[in-house]
Homo-oligomer: A and B are copies of this chain.
Amino acid sequence: MFEIISLKNGLENVQGFFCGGLNCGLRPNTEQGDLAFIRSEVPCLVTATYTTNKFCAAPIKHAKRYGEIFESDFVLINAKNANAMTGKKGVEDIEEILGSLPIKALNPLMSSTGVIGYRLPKDKIINGIKRFDFNSKDSNALATSIMTTDKFKKELCFKVTLEDGSSFTIAAVAKGAGMINPAMATMLCFIATDAKVPKEDIRELLVEAVNDSFNKISVDGDTSTNDTVLLMSNGLSGAYDKEAFRVALKRVTFELAMMILRDGEGANKVVAFEVIGAKNDEEAKRAAVNLSNSLLVKTALFGADPNWGRIASTIGASEIECNEEKLVIYYDDLIVYSKEYPELDKEREEKAYKIMNQDSFKIKCDLGLGEGRYIAYGCDLSYEYVKINAEYRT
């Protein structure tokens, strides 16, 4: 047994971690930061998952040198410039910037988000670094400095108390990109914990948590050059329990993933797309992911139009085994399509409309063929232009 409670703010709650952010001139005409750091007073065990984009950015090339699991105590993060498609020079720039740190750092990392194809403004960043207070615990400055088109900062923290009375803290900060916010698809997340996560568990747990959260949300079908989820464990609490840490880490990543979805520009609701009864999990996944990415489906969600035909059409186009006679589509618990209910009558249509007007709801498709299942998460697509199409049926 263990207990999880939510704490205010983010990384500042975690023993031995320091963080901060400031404006070094990358983001002009504003006081909002554009350069941030995360530091641990003792070396951390670190692991990370990165974008699968073949043109991964320089910071990822640089970080991958350390291997899948390594030790580090420092991360520098900048907004406005992705340092991607910058070749070897991009990596050399990182080395030069990190080489200028006025403090000792073990295997320091850098992470970037912003426009592709431009070298980092090294001088601005190096001058910025000089102004950091490396003993600050300002998670608000960290969280706001790494934002791009995010409307709100994304940070959270949990305290986990184990059965023996020992406890650890896990906190995270993220920046996102909604499907309807296609200018910046990069998603960064930094997780810090004082739990004493052992080497044999750390990667398995992070990969599992990322697969069940960030890998299940629909951005815009594009995979950025810079996506990174980094987990740093400094062990200072001395506490650890694999199951408790697994649950806490999954909660951290899932809640941040939902925040990212909710922050899609103009997004009004988060929708879970569950496909069950598929021939296998792979086919269920293909259909669920297609549903979460379909513009047809997203516009219907925005208009709260119970036009299940778009759901059916997207499944039918997913190159999976499916059968019109066996398909059943639910909005929450309401059947909107099955062989027995070929047309949505007034009463059921009104119920569906109410369900669709909730803050979040589930669309479930039972293909009636096998045991395959998957859930993907998406959001609606709003904006004036969509209204025209969302109201098509009326």
B183 touches A388 (CB 8 A): yes
A295 touches B342 (CB 8 A): no
A86 to B342, CA, bound (A): 6
A392 touches B116 (CB 8 A): no
B185 touches A309 (CB 8 A): no
Contacts A54-B322, A183-B299, A324-B55; A308 near B117 (Cβ below 8 A): yes
List residues of A (309-354) whose CB comes within 8 Å of B's CBs.
Answer: 309-310, 312-322, 324-325, 327, 337, 339, 342-344
Q: Which residues of B contact A180 (CB under 8 A)?
A: 385
Q: Which residues of B contact A389 (CB under 8 A)?
A: 149, 181-183, 265
A293 within 8 A of B: yes
A267 to chain B, nearest CB (A): 11
A359 within 8 A of B: no
Out of B317, B342, B382, name the residue touching A85 (CB < 8 Å): B342
A296 touches B89 (CB 8 A): no
- Copies of chain A in the complex: 2
A315 to B224, CA, bound (A): 11
A390 to B265, CA, bound (A): 14
Stretch in A6-14, A215-223, A236-244, A273-281 touching the partner: A215-223
B182 touches A312 (CB 8 A): no
Contacts A223-B317, A385-B385, A389-B181; A310 near B265 (Cβ below 8 A): no
A344 to B55, CA, bound (A): 18
Mask, A344-383, CB within 8 Å of B = 1, is: 1000000000000000000000000000000000000011
Chain B, residue nearest A303 (CB): B183
A266 within 8 A of B: yes
A55 touches B388 (CB 8 A): no
